[in-house]
């Protein structure tokens, strides 16, 4: 499990780096996606259980079920979070296209109308 | 787009849509459900729009059609919630596990929600591609 | 009052909880947003249907955040609120609005993702998402502290506390004025509520020098930067940041008086900032200018209303700003007299920039005759009356605020109410 956590941190750092230091707007949006997915990875890793069974109660032994069934909640959380990320990304791309229409470039250094 | 992508898209498109519909209808039995199914359907349309251009994709589903379908589906969602007891007692019984026509209103909600997701995504793709 | 969705009992299902603090915040949200909805019917000239869709979405997000009793549900509503805010910032579609929206979107997404990361860590450590259940299970260990840090950092970005404040003036400069009012009045209140709720879960509402330090810095930097602005919306945005500094400072004291005065100041800040944004918005609507040096106008009712708002903002006695500031001074005197002095200095700077707004709007040499539409004037007058009323009879506000502060200090009552004994 330790490797997964380290991997999550590395991916999250790549995402934050991409969002903060890259000058291209599209790259910033991609960084947003990378960062979000690293957190999804963390959530899925939290819900992981070796040799788990699906969390559907059938006519089986309830003790065996409690011992082996995976936790369904992180997966539900990740699904919700993916939907949210989808809407945020769509809105971000819309704003980027509008910004391109105004500025004729994707460089964030040219966005300097608001200062002070 | 080049010929390889066009050919693959031409062959794959119906199956992508079919797979999306399968995911929608089996949401209560297997992993998946409304959102993944809707996304798969919408990604099929998006693939078509990218490889053949917007004109070809609009021949499958027009932008206005997507608007109208989304509204109608939302209305249908409200109807399902209003007639909840009818749906759960008469139309779709609880049934047994791994049977398609079961699980009360969850089946209908999955299908309707998936339609909404796919229409919304198709609209987003169309609007972004028009820029 | 506890409402469980779908009949699932609290630790498993999603619950909405209505304790005294949530009632206070929900009343604030509904009050301010309904007044703004009335005001906007005239202020927004085109694409009204989109504006109102987004406004309703924003209100849903704010209400959901203030009522929910489940931390992931809070995140979902927080995102609804954020997404509609980004779209509203970009509403005018001109260059400044798009730039503000993009900056806000990047910063706001990082915020929400930090909150999500904190929630994921809390879930991994405690195995539950319900506030009351979490409060039973958390303990003070380094791992929990990291999660706490993530959550508090995320919410303080939303509340625009100083190291994280840069997005806010940029975002507000591009928005329509009524939305600026919502941002400074309620969005920050929701951010502060998030901080309070997280500290409440960890039972850490006590003397906290970190919060006091950030509060003092926010107070001074916000007021100082407000003084040098020329754009009126930007100036009010910085003023809002400075007022939140007071709130963060007194929350850091962790006493009953501190919390009461902090919540009271949130209430007053919401009223005054809504009043000022609306009053200034009338000026922007009529003159079409946002620069302070070009906004001179002649209008007696607007002069009275905005004048009362500005006096109240800087804490002149018979008005409501004075009441909460007096409580804040008393609360800080208990902890350290130095803090009282700093708060009074910040208050003096507030008076300075208030006078700058007033003089450039109503005492300028070049003034134009204006006739104010009734739809724009009536909400402003209603808020002015409320300001004076709360100032003259402070008990009205205190009755709302004091139970909320008490509820924050009593964690066990909340847990009993939600978990059922």
Contacts C94 to A, Cβ<8 Å = 102
pLDDT at C6: 67
Test mutation, A14, A55, A105, A116, chain C, max C CBs within 10 A: A116
Provide the pLDDT for residue A113.
67
- Chain C residues near residue A42 by CB distance under 8 angstroms: 117, 120-121, 124
How far away is chain A from the Cα of B47, in angstroms, using its nearest Cα?
17
CA distance C73 to chain A (A): 10
Yes or no, beta carbons of A58 and B97 under 8 Å apart: yes
In terms of residue numbers, what domain contains A61? 2-110
Q: Residue B80: give the domain boundaries.
A: 3-130
- Look up residue C368 and give its DSSP letter: E
The DSSP H or E segment spanning C4 is strand C2-4
The SS3 of residue B62 is coil
Domain extent for C21: 2-419
**Those residues with Cβ within 8 angstroms of residue A84's Cβ, 6 or more apart along the chain or in another chain:** C76, C79, C83
Give the pLDDT confidence of C390-403 residue by residue, as tens digits. 888 888 888 888 88
Could you tell me if residue A115 is inside a domain?
Answer: no
Q: Is there a contact between C117 and A102 if contact means CB atoms under 8 Å apart?
A: no
Three state DSSP letters for chain A: CHHHHHHHHHHHHHHHHHHHHCCEHHHHHHHHHHHHHHHHHHHHHHCCCCCCECCCCCCCCHHHHHHHECCCHHHHHHHHHHHHHHHHHHHHHHHHHHHHHHHCCCEHHHCCCCCC
CB C291 within 8 A of CB C230: yes
Q: Which value, in Å, is the radius of gyration of the alpha carbons in chain B?
A: 17
Tokens 């979902």 correspond to: C76
Task: Measure the CA–CA gap between C11 and C310, rounded to whole angstroms.
Answer: 47
Question: Which chain A residues are closer than 8 Å to B114 by Cβ?
Answer: none
* Nearest residue in A to B30, CA atom: A54
Residue A28 lies in a domain: yes
Q: Name the domain count of chain C.
A: 1
pLDDT in tens, B62-115: 878 888 888 888 888 888 888 777 777 666 666 666 666 666 777 788 888 888
Q: Is the dihedral of CA C341, C344, C350, C356 positive or negative?
A: negative
Structural domains of chain B, count = 1
How many separate domains does chain A show?
Answer: 1
Nearest to C54 by CA among C79, C81, C31: C81
Closest-CA distance of chain B to residue A116, Å: 32
> Mean pLDDT lowest for which of A52-66, B39-53, C197-211, C292-306?
A52-66
Closest C-alpha among B66, B62, B73, B65 to residue B111:
B73
The whole-angstrom separation of Cα C125 and Cα C143 is: 8
The number of beta carbons lying within 10 Å of the beta carbon of residue C338 is: 11
Q: Give the mean pLDDT of chain B.
A: 81
Task: Determine whether the interchain pair B35/A79 forms a contact, defined as Cβ–Cβ distance below 8 Å.
Answer: yes
Q: Which residue has the higher pLDDT, B26 or A57?
A: B26
Q: B128, A90: Cβ pair inside 8 Å?
A: yes
Q: Which residue of B has its CA nearest to A101?
A: B131
Alpha-carbon gap, residue C417 to C16, rounded angstroms: 12
Q: Output phi, psi for C348, to 5 deg.
A: -65, -40
A56 interfaces chain B, CB cutoff of 8 Å: yes
Choose the closest CB to B128 out of A56, A79, A93: A93
Measured in angstroms, the CA of C102 and the nearest CA of chain A are apart by 7
How is chain C split among helix, strand and coil, in percent rounded to 5? Answer: 80, 5, 15
Find out whether C271 and C400 touch, Cβ atoms under 8 Å.
no
Which of C113, C157, C166 is the best residue to mutate to test the A interface, defined by the most A CB atoms within 10 Å of its own CB?
A: C113
Is the predicted pLDDT of residue B37 greater than 80, yes or no?
yes
Q: A32, C106: Cβ pair inside 8 Å? A: yes
Arithmetic mean of pLDDT, A4-17: 88
pLDDT tens digits, residue range C159-186?
A: 888 888 888 888 888 888 888 888 888 8
CA geometry: angle at C231 spanning C229 and C232, to 5°?
100
Instruction: Round to whole Å and give the CA distance between B47 and C287.
Output: 50
CA of A60, closest CA in chain C: separation in Å? 22
For residue C59, the model assigns a pLDDT of: 92
Q: Which of A81, A84, A95 sits opposite C102 (nearest CB)?
A: A95
Residue A60: pLDDT over 70 = no
The reply to whether A83 falls in a domain is yes
> Do residues B49 and B57 lie in contact, with contact meaning Cβ atoms separated by under 8 Å?
yes
Q: How far is CA B38 from CA B25, B103, B111, C74, C235, in A?
A: 11, 20, 9, 26, 46
Two structure tokens written together for C248: 């963060």
The per-residue pLDDT for A34 is 92
Q: Would you say residue A116 has pLDDT above 60?
A: no
- A73 touches B at CB < 8 Å: no
Residues C119-138 have pLDDT tens digits of: 888 888 888 888 888 888 88
d(CA C382, CA C120): 44
Q: Is A111 on the interface with B (CB under 8 A)?
A: no
Is A83 in the B-facing interface, judged by CB distances under 8 Å? Answer: yes
Residues A89 and A26 sit within 8 Å (Cβ to Cβ): no
- pLDDT given for residue A59 in this prediction: 63
At residue C312, the 3 state secondary structure works out as helix
Residue C159 is predicted with a pLDDT of 85
For residue A26, CA distances in Å to A99, B15, B67, C69, C97 come to: 11, 31, 28, 36, 18
Instruction: Give the pLDDT band (50/70/90) at residue A115.
Output: low
Phi first, then psi, for residue B9 (nearest 5°) are -60, -45
Residue A55, domain CATH: 1.10.287.3510
pLDDT band at A58 (very low <50, low <70, confident <90, very high): low
CB-CB under 8 Å, A82 with B128: no
CB contact under 8 A, A19 and C106: yes
Percent residues over pLDDT 70 in chain A: 91
8 Å CB contact of A111 and C99: yes
pLDDT value of residue B15: 92
What residue ranges of chain C have pLDDT lower than 50?
none
Chain A residue numbers with beta carbons less than 8 Å from the beta carbon of B128 are: 90, 93-94, 97
Cβ-based contacts of B127 with chain A (< 8 Å):
94
Query: Which pTM does this prediction carry?
Result: 0.89
Please check whether residue C319 is in contact with residue C275, taking contact to mean a CB–CB distance below 8 angstroms.
no
| B touches C, CB cut-off 8 Å, minimum 3 pairs | no
Contact state of B128 with A58 under an 8 Å Cβ cutoff: no
């Amino acid at each position: 499990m330790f490797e997964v956590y380290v991997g999550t941190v590395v991916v999250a750092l790549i995402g934050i780096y991409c969002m903060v230091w890259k000058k291209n707007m599209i790259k910033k949006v991609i960084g947003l996606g990378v960062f979000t997915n690293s957190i999804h990875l963390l959530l899925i890793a939290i819900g992981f259980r070796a040799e788990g069974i699906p969390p559907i109660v059938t006519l089986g032994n309830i003790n065996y079920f409690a011992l082996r069934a995976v936790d369904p909640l992180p997966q539900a959380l990740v699904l919700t979070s993916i939907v949210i990320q989808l809407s945020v990304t769509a809105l971000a791309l819309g704003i980027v296209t509008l910004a391109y229409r105004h500025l004729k470039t994707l460089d964030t250094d040219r966005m300097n109308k608001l200062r002070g | 787009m080049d010929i390889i992508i066009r050919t693959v898209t031409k062959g794959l498109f119906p199956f992508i849509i079919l797979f999306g519909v399968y995911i929608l209808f089996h949401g209560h039995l297997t992993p998946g459900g409304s959102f993944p199914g809707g996304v798969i359907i919408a990604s099929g349309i998006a693939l078509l729009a990218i490889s053949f251009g917007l004109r070809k994709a609009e021949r499958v589903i027009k932008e206005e059609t997507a608007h109208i379908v989304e509204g109608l589906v939302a209305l249908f969602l409200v109807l399902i919630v209003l007639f909840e007891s009818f749906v759960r007692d008469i139309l779709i019984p609880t049934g047994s596990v791994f049977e398609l026509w079961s699980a009360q209103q969850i089946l209908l909600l999955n299908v309707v929600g998936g339609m909404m997701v796919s229409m919304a995504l198709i609209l987003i793709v169309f609007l972004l591609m028009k820029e | 009052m506890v409402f469980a969705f779908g009949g699932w009992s609290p630790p498993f299902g999603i619950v909405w909880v209505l304790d005294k603090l949530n009632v206070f915040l929900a009343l604030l949200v509904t009050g301010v947003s309904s007044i703004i909805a009335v005001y906007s019917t005239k202020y927004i000239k085109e694409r009204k249907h989109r504006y109102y869709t987004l406004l309703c979405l924003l209100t849903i997000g704010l209400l959901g955040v203030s009522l929910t009793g489940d931390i992931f549900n809070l995140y979902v509503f927080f995102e609804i609120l954020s997404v509609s805010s980004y779209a509203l910032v970009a509403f005018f579609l001109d260059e400044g609005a798009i730039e503000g929206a993009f900056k806000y979107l990047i910063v706001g997404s990082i915020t929400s993702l930090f909150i999500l990361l904190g929630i994921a860590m809390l879930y991994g450590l405690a195995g539950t998402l319900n506030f009351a259940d979490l409060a039973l299970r958390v303990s003070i260990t380094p791992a929990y502290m990291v999660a706490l840090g993530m959550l508090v950092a995320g919410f303080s970005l939303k509340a625009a506390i100083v190291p994280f404040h840069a997005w806010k003036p940029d975002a507000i400069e591009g928005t329509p004025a009524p939305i600026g009012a919502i941002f400074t009045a309620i969005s920050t209140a929701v951010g502060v509520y998030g901080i309070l709720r997280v500290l409440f879960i960890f039972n850490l509402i006590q003397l906290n020098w970190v919060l006091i330090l950030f509060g003092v810095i926010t107070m001074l930097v916000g007021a100082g930067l407000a003084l040098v602005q020329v754009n009126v919306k930007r100036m009010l945005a910085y003023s809002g940041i400075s007022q939140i500094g007071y709130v963060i400072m007194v929350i850091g004291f962790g006493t009953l008086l501190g919390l009461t005065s902090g919540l009271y100041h949130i209430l007053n800040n919401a009223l005054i900032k809504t009043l000022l944004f609306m009053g200034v918005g009338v000026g922007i609507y009529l003159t079409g200018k946002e620069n302070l040096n070009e906004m001179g106008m002649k209008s007696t009712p607007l002069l009275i209303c905005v004048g009362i708002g500005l006096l109240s903002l800087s804490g002149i006695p018979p008005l409501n700003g004075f009441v909460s500031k007096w409580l804040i001074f008393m609360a800080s005197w208990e902890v350290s007299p130095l803090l009282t002095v700093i708060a009074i200095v910040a208050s003096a700077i507030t008076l300075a920039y208030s006078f700058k707004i007033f003089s450039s709007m109503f005492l300028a040499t070049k003034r134009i005759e204006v006739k104010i539409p009734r739809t724009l004037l009536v909400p402003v007058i209603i808020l002015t009356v409320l300001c004076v009323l709360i100032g003259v009879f402070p008990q009205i506000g205190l009755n709302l605020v004091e139970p909320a502060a008490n509820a924050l200090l009593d964690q066990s009552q909340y847990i009993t109410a939600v978990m059922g004994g």
